[in-house]
Each structure stands twice: as structure tokens, then as C-alpha cells.
Amino acid sequence: MTSALKRFAGRYLCLTLLLLTAGPALGSEGELQPFRNVLDPILESTFIPGYLLTTIEDDNVSAEAFAGVIRDDSSSPPSKDSLFAITWMAEPLVSLAVARLVQQERLSLDEEVSRFFPIGPVALDRHSEAGGLRSGSTVRDLLRHTAGIQAKAQGRSYNGTRQGSTSGVDISIERLISGNGQIFLAGVAEDLVTNSFGPSDRFLYSHSYEVLGRIIELRTEMPLDRALKELVFDPLDMRDTVFDVPSEKQNRLAQLYTNRIPTYPVPGQFRLIQPHPALPAEQKNIGVERNSWKSPTLGLLSSARDLEKFLSLFLKDFATSGGGQFLEKEIWTQFFLTDQLGDSFGPDPLVGSFGRHGENLSFSLASAIKLKDDGSKEIDYIFWWGLANTLFWYIPDQKRAGMVLTQHEPAQYNLVEELVSVSRDL
């Protein structure tokens, strides 16, 4: 068989599997096809196992598409009740908790981080010389990633090693899985505050939300899982968003994949992903074994059904489905729809962390902000993504939101701009 014929056969096989495992869709084919044109090539090339797409308009789901498979032992695509590790995409949910505490006057954005951690003046002086948390860093700085906390590692190569790792505290999926019973958020946060050495004079996408998680614990006098449940998940009726998945829900777990370590391909079966090697052989995802480390940036799982309730907040000006007001307008506007970097951190402040993907972006107190291209500094849309390639977006001037859920770590497929463009044109 010629190499060209082999490529054709492989592509034909992928397309056949895609057709066989596509789930029921909502929305006209004309609405869905432009989204599929963005997502299907990655699926057909076996870079991701499957995906779920949801768009919301006027507080109603306007389009849905499901494709691929949820895990190796299933021929079914993901569903709205499938449970995904949302990793970094949980950070806006943590911001919601902080916003609720600010609204309740239990926490101030201007409180200094050092107030919560006994790091002392010697450590602060050392940081001022070498970078890292500086004297005067506040809760606001943690939310917008300007506190000098250690940068995140940005991915993994095809030989399975993590890329972009920084010296300091290990905050990784591997440590989360292997450290059960021996690692606690309190220790992780204190290690980050005392041992991080990132620059403190610019935006640096960092592990600062681990520190925020500990501050929530200290201020509420609750473990983080309970605090998030009371502040965010219960009021929004988000019943599936958890650190520890109950046994009766574990059959809904999507399998976590990563880049395949190169091996000799098996004819007809080769693909570019494999089940995550850090997980035990029969374990599909995190959240199965009760974990002592409630990591706010790695440990949360959620479903599309739950995340729709989060996105609906934007469409209803942060009113709840029961008619109450989840956040006052001044608070939610400040946290989600206000550029918190401005010109204070130089032009294109996110480029240092995200390269070309950070161009013309800024940051609120919860997620990235895409600014309009006309130089007006007005918000075009907001978005965020996760380490396992989950993502969401919201377009304020059209009151439209959407998300894509899949399970492939590390983050490699930044499709937000293309998906927002399609969503705008619906």
C-alpha cells in the first residue's frame, strides 16, 4: 500500500468512527457545521478523543453537538452529564467565591496576601531581590496574576515530559494523582508564597489561585470544597461540580488522555493520544480516589449541564434561576467585565505568558478579556480555557456564550478566536 493510500485509509477510518459516534445535535445543520469545521479536523486527526459543544443565547441552549467517544471502553460520545476535569477553567468559579465574599464584606480586594501567611519580613525582602511575592501584593493581584507567584508549566512534549517547568513548587496533574493523603492545600499555598520566584512587575499566568483557595478556607473557616459548595455551587444548583466524584456517578467520567508516547504503530489502530499514564490502569480520571489536596486549579470536575448554569449568569446579569441576585452589578462588572491590567503592565501584557495567543488580550479578576481591534479598549469578548482543553466564551454585546469540553492534557488547542467568530455570525 502506498503512503498516500495509507493516509487516505487512516483518514477514512477516522471519519467513519466520527460518523458512528456522533450524538444527537440541537440546532440546524447550517448553524452547527461552521463549529464542526473548527473542531472536527482535530478529532479526525485523533488529537482529541471526542468533544461536546454548547452555545447559549437568551438564557437558552441554542446549539449542541456531540462527537467522538467519552472513553476507551465506550462507543458513546460525551453527553451533558459526562464529568470532565476542568482544571484551569475552574478559576472563574473560584473568582465567583471571592466575589461573593467581597460582596458580603468578609474579604477585601486590597487585603495584603502576607496577612494570611506568616512569611515574615525576611522572606519578603528576599522576594523583593529575586522576584516572587512582593510586599504589598493583594488579593486583587492574586486574581489578576500580578502577585509574582510561580508561573505555570505550559505543556508536555510528545515524549511525555513536561515542558516549560519552573523550579519551585510542583503543581501538576501527576502530583495531584500521586500525592493522595499526603498533600494539603494549606501546605501548597504556603510553599508558593514562600518559595515562588516569578517576576512581580508584570502579568504572569501563575499558580496564584492555589493561594486564593487557601485564603477562602481561612476567611470562611471551611475546607475549600465546602466553601465553594456554599458560596457558588449550591446557589447555582451545580450538583455535579465536585472534587470527589461519588461512586454512583463515576460511570459518567470522561477519560483523561494525553499525548501518545511514540511506539511502533499497530495497523488500523494508531492514534496520537493515550489514556493519561499517571492514572492507575482502571481509573478514567481524577476525582475517583478521595484526595486530601483540594486543588482549585487542577482538582475540580464538572458537567456541561452545570457549566451552562455558570454561563447563564452572564446572560441574566448574574440573577439566579430562582429570581435572586447572585452578585450585585457593581461586583460582577468589576470581576468579569473590567480590564484590570490597563496600561499599567505594558502593551500586550499576556504575551509574556501565552506568546502570540496573548496578543490584544488583557485580564479581569477572573478570566481573559479580548479587546476590540479599534483601539477603543472596549471588551470584545471574555474567555478562559483549561489544562485539558476545556474552554468557554461570552460575547457581551450579543449576550451569547458557549463552551467546548474534551479531555486531553496538556492545553494545546486554543480555538477560542475561531469559535467566537462562528458564534458571532449565527
Express each pLDDT in 326-337 by its tens digit. Answer: 999 999 999 999
Question: Mean pLDDT throughout 249-267?
Answer: 82
Q: What is the CATH number of domain 3-89+234-424?
A: 3.40.710.10
pLDDT of the residue at 11: 36
Pairing of strands 408-409, 257-259: parallel
How confident is residue 9, by pLDDT bands cut at 50, 70 and 90?
very low
183-186 LR contacts (CB < 8 Å, sep 24+): 183/292, 183/293, 184/292, 184/293, 185/210, 185/213, 185/214, 185/217, 185/224, 185/293, 185/294, 185/295, 185/296, 186/214, 186/217
Domains of the chain, residue spans: 3-89+234-424, 92-98+106-221
Tell me the pTM. 0.89
Question: Mean pLDDT throughout 391-414?
Answer: 94
Q: Count other C-beta atoms under 10 Å from residue 249's C-beta.
A: 16
pLDDT surpassing 80 at residue 118: no
Let me know: does 421 contact 393? Beta carbons within 8 Å.
no
How confident is residue 135, by pLDDT bands cut at 50, 70 and 90?
low
Alpha carbon distance 247, 228 (integer Å): 21
pLDDT tens per residue, range 344-400: 888 899 998 998 889 899 999 999 999 998 878 889 999 999 999 999 999 999 999
- Grid look-up 459526562 returns 82
